[in-house]
Amino acid sequence: MKQEQWRRFGGTFLTGSVAEEVNKALIAERKAGHTLQVCLGTDSQVKGAVIEFATVIVFVRKGRGAFLFLRKEILRQKMSIRERMLLEVDKTVQLTLQLSAVFNTHGIAPELHVDINTDAAYKSNAALSEAMGYVSGMGWICKAKPYAFASSSCANKIVQ
């Protein structure tokens, strides 16, 4: 799997590790007087023989807008929609685990957003109960469509 470096939405690459950069962002935002909600999510798009993934960390300044960090990955592998949805969720879970010490230090309860439809008429719904159980079992807040803006809106814009 080819993995790009973490960057800001504007294109600037992060200089430190993602944990260091998230910590710096949380410190700066708190100094500026902002109350933050942090949402993480991953979306993917099949493009011919490859699957492009985008993972985002969205920092929502309550009443003051938002900003995000993102990373793209390319995978050359065929998989079912269920497998792809669960891989998206796993990417978000692994990132949250990587950042959990930072979140704990700042008293942040992250929200994990899964790009899975709650309507059974959609194919992605096949992975909903497993995904929700996986994230909830880790003790985190899990949101699916239509409330999963980090994955279904922010990350989706990156892989379109």
pLDDT digits (tens, 9 = 90+) for 91-113: 999 999 999 999 999 999 999 99
68 pLDDT band (50/70/90 cuts)? Answer: very high
pLDDT digits (tens, 9 = 90+) for 109-151: 999 999 988 888 888 888 888 999 999 999 999 999 999 999 9
107: three-class secondary structure by DSSP: coil
Q: How many domains does the chain have?
A: 1
Per-residue pLDDT, averaged over 49-78, amounts to 95
- Of 160 and 44, the structure prediction assigns the larger pLDDT to 44
| pLDDT attached to residue 5 | 92
14 pLDDT band (50/70/90 cuts)? Answer: very high
With tokens 């469509």, the residue in question is: 145
Per-residue pLDDT, averaged over 12-36, amounts to 96
| CB neighbour class for 133 (10 Å; exposed up to 12, middle 13-18, buried from 19) | exposed
